[in-house]
A and B are shown apart, each in its own frame.
Chain A
Amino acid sequence: MIRLHDLHKAYKTHLGVKPVLRGIDATFRPGEKVGILGRNGAGKTTLLRLIAGVEYPTTGKVERQMSVSWPLGFAGAMHYSITGADNARFIARIYGKPIQETVDFVQDFSELGEYYRLPVRTYSSGMIMRLGFALSLAVDFECYLVDEVIAVGDSRFGERCRKALAERQARSALLLVSHQAETVRSFCTTAAVLNDGRLTRYDDLDQAIAVYQAV
Chain B
Amino acid sequence: MTDAALPAPARRGTRIGDVLACQLRVIGALVLRELGTRFGRDNLGYLWLFVEPALLGGALGTLHYVVAHSVPGGLNPFEFWVIAYIPFYLLRGVINRAPFGIQANQSLLYHRNVTVLDILVARNLLEGAAVLGALIIFLVFFGIIFGHWPSDPFKMLFGMVLMLLLAHGVSLLISAGAVYTELFERLVHLVTYLSMPLLGAFWMVFWLPYEAQRLALWIPSVHIFELIRDGHFGNLVPTTYDIGYVLAWIAGTNLLGMAAIRRARRDLVL
Residues of A whose CB lies within 8 Å of any CB of B are 11, 49, 52-56, 64, 67-68, 70-71, 74-79, 81-82, 86, 90-98, 101-102, 104-106, 108-109, 137-142, 171
Could you list 7 further interchain pairs (A-B, Cβ under 8 angstroms) beyond the known A96-B25, A105-B4?
A56-B268, A77-B111, A79-B33, A93-B26, A93-B28, A94-B26, A171-B7
Does B47 count as interface, using CB distance less than 8 angstroms?
no
Interchain residue pairs A-B with the least CB separation, the first 10: A93-B29, A105-B4, A77-B110, A101-B4, A70-B110, A101-B3, A67-B8, A53-B112, A76-B110, A56-B266
CB distance from B58 to the nearest CB of A (A): 30
Does B10 count as interface, using CB distance less than 8 angstroms?
yes
Contacts of A75 in B (CB 8 A): 107
CB distance from A19 to the nearest CB of B (A): 15
Contacts of B22 in A (CB 8 A): 96
A11-B269, A55-B269, A55-B270 known; A95 vs B107 contact (CB < 8 Å): no
| A66 closest partner in B (C-beta) | B10
Contacts of A53 in B (CB 8 A): 112
CA distance A68 to B113 in the complex (A): 11
A54-B270, A90-B29 known; A95 vs B109 contact (CB < 8 Å): no
Does B190 count as interface, using CB distance less than 8 angstroms?
no
Contacts of B181 in A (CB 8 A): none
Contacts of B11 in A (CB 8 A): 64, 67
Contacts of B32 in A (CB 8 A): 90, 93
CB distance from B88 to the nearest CB of A (A): 30
Establish whether residues B5 and A140, one from each chain, have CB atoms under 8 Å apart when the complex forms.
yes
Chain B 27-47 interface mask (CB, 8 Å, partner A; 1/0): 011001100110000000000
| A57 closest partner in B (C-beta) | B266
Residues of B whose CB lies within 8 Å of any CB of A are 1, 3-11, 22, 25-26, 28-29, 32-33, 36-37, 106-107, 109-114, 265-270
CB distance from B17 to the nearest CB of A (A): 14
CB distance from B145 to the nearest CB of A (A): 39
CA distance A96 to B268 in the complex (A): 26
- The 21 sampled A-B contact pairs (Cβ below 8 Å) are A11-B269, A52-B110, A54-B109, A54-B110, A54-B270, A55-B269, A64-B11, A70-B110, A74-B110, A76-B106, A77-B107, A78-B107, A82-B36, A90-B29, A92-B4, A95-B113, A96-B9, A98-B3, A101-B4, A104-B4, A138-B4
CB distance from B38 to the nearest CB of A (A): 10
Contacts of A90 in B (CB 8 A): 29, 32-33
CA distance A116 to B257 in the complex (A): 39
| B33 closest partner in A (C-beta) | A90
A49-B270, A94-B25, A94-B26 known; A76 vs B7 contact (CB < 8 Å): no
Out of B4, B36, B114, B268, name the residue touching A94 (CB < 8 Å).
B114
Establish whether residues A82 and B107, one from each chain, have CB atoms under 8 Å apart when the complex forms.
no
Out of A52, A98, A138, name the residue touching B112 (CB < 8 Å).
A52
CA distance A160 to B250 in the complex (A): 53
CB distance from B104 to the nearest CB of A (A): 11
CB distance from A2 to the nearest CB of B (A): 12
CA distance A96 to B12 in the complex (A): 11
CA distance A29 to B189 in the complex (A): 51
Contacts of A78 in B (CB 8 A): 107
Establish whether residues A98 and B107, one from each chain, have CB atoms under 8 Å apart when the complex forms.
no
CA distance A53 to B10 in the complex (A): 14
A55-B270, A108-B1 known; A70 vs B112 contact (CB < 8 Å): yes
CB distance from A46 to the nearest CB of B (A): 10
Establish whether residues B25 and A140, one from each chain, have CB atoms under 8 Å apart when the complex forms.
no
CA distance A201 to B260 in the complex (A): 38
> Which residue among B8, B9, B107, B265 has the maximum number of chain A CB atoms within 10 Å of its CB?
B8
CB distance from A117 to the nearest CB of B (A): 12
Establish whether residues A76 and B107, one from each chain, have CB atoms under 8 Å apart when the complex forms.
yes
Establish whether residues B111 and A67, one from each chain, have CB atoms under 8 Å apart when the complex forms.
no
Out of A49, A52, A93, A102, name the residue touching B25 (CB < 8 Å).
A93
| B105 closest partner in A (C-beta) | A79
Contacts of A108 in B (CB 8 A): 1
CA distance A131 to B4 in the complex (A): 15
CB distance from B45 to the nearest CB of A (A): 14
Contacts of A109 in B (CB 8 A): 1
Establish whether residues B4 and A97, one from each chain, have CB atoms under 8 Å apart when the complex forms.
yes
Establish whether residues A97 and B1, one from each chain, have CB atoms under 8 Å apart when the complex forms.
no
